[in-house]
Amino acid sequence: MNFLIQQLKKYGPIHTDLEEELIKRTKFMTKQKGDFFLKQGQVVSNMFVIEKGIVRAFYNKEDREINVWFGIENMILGSVIPLFFNLPSLESIQFLEDSSIYYISREDMNELYQKYHQMETIGRKLAEEYCKILEERTISLQTESAEERYNTLLKNETAAAQRISLGHIASYLGITQETLSRIRKK
């Protein structure tokens, strides 16, 4: 079965006619560790789901890479600015492991939104989930200590945290690797 369709079904029913169109429009690719799905400034308007592997999204500031999110298996992902607004990305998305993904273009999604109310509903639910995740992340960065953010990461993303380098985790938490080492020793 198409892995993207399988994940989309978590957000609402997909009838046979829509499923057939999704099968035609969904593409599959494999990427190696270190490859990019998207680089900052590009307009790559695809929504994707990871079947196997892990990615990170980051931006560059003053010769530093700052991680903003991670994606693992079963997550539907995309860079919000190009995906929803068809504008150049503010972030890069890089594969941290050899990965396999299914993806669909923004154009195909928009055509399916217009043709199928159920796809429109799924898209809305996905956007709502993105908003929830972004709001929780913003509040966490503003109100929690570094140790609390680390513990939340371990609690909510146990599998991912074990597969991501400490340098990437420290950047995501907004702390140095030295601070992360001190937190981990507690």
Of the two residues 1 and 145, the one the predictor is more confident about is 145
Q: What is the mean pLDDT of residues 53-69?
A: 94
Q: Where are the alpha helices (DSSP H) in the chain?
A: 3-8, 16-25, 80-85, 106-115, 117-143, 146-156, 158-163, 166-173, 177-185
Other CB atoms within a 10 A radius of the CB of residue 14 amount to 19
| Residue range 65-74: mean pLDDT, rounded | 93
How far from 112 is each of 25, 104, 121, CA to CA, in Å?
Answer: 10, 11, 11
Whole-structure pTM value: 0.90
The count of other CB atoms within 10 Å of the CB of residue 15 is 10
Q: What is the pLDDT of residue 186?
A: 79
How does residue 36 score in pLDDT terms, banded at 50, 70 and 90?
A: very high
Question: How confident is the model over 78-122, as pLDDT tens digits?
Answer: 998 998 899 999 999 999 999 999 999 999 999 999 999 999 999
